Amino acid sequence: PAGESRGGIHIGLMYLNNRISAKSAKTVLDGKTDEWQDTDALFISAQDGCETIFRASHDEEYLYILSETASPAHQSTFYELNICNSGSDKVQTLSINASGAISSTSEQTKVLTSRGRTEAGVEGFSAEISIPLALLEAEIGDYLRIYVETEGETFTDSSKENTDSWIRIRLE
């Protein structure tokens, strides 16, 4: 059983970069991360020290994604995010850096970025993204698929050319 402890060893079930849930939440694009504390996360770590965590939530109209990137100051970190409904081949693509979205397939998609430092003092930035569910042809209960590439790294066993290999996000 998940969460059981035997003899000091914690036994549990984990889904590492397999699927996360995007739960219904009141999310505001304001550069603050308070409302993201109890959400599932995806993680990408590049060989050069860049690390990015992705979280998702939704309301009746939008999918929200929070990304938090920590990278050394000398790097010009940016990433490309691709997302689609599991039942569709219509992909929304965004390229984002610390200054905000540098390109998007939709003007309805919004991005707010803020620069800062981690608790360990590493420079980085966070980006709050809102994508209309209508653009994704998505409803509550659907699975979305996400592919991210940052500094040459992506999710394990994920290929841009094969949407079936992308990480799933369930709208709950």
Q: In terms of Cα–Cα distance, which of 153, 105, 158, 148 is closest to 127?
A: 148
DSSP 84: E
Question: What angle is formed at CA 34 by the lines to CA 155 and CA 115, rounded to 5 degrees?
Answer: 65
Q: Consecutive 10-residue runs of the chain (172 residues): their mean pLDDT?
A: 50 60 91 82 76 91 91 72 90 86 84 82 87 93 90 80 91 94
Beta bridge partners of residue 50, listed in sequence order: none
Half-sphere exposure of 131 (CA within 13 A, CB side): 30
**Residue-wise pLDDT tens digits, 22-68:** 999 999 988 778 888 878 888 887 666 678 889 999 999 999 999 88
CA 19 to chain centre: 11
The predicted structure's pLDDT at residue 13? 44
Measured distance CA(47)–CA(44) in Å, rounded: 10
- Global pTM reads 0.84
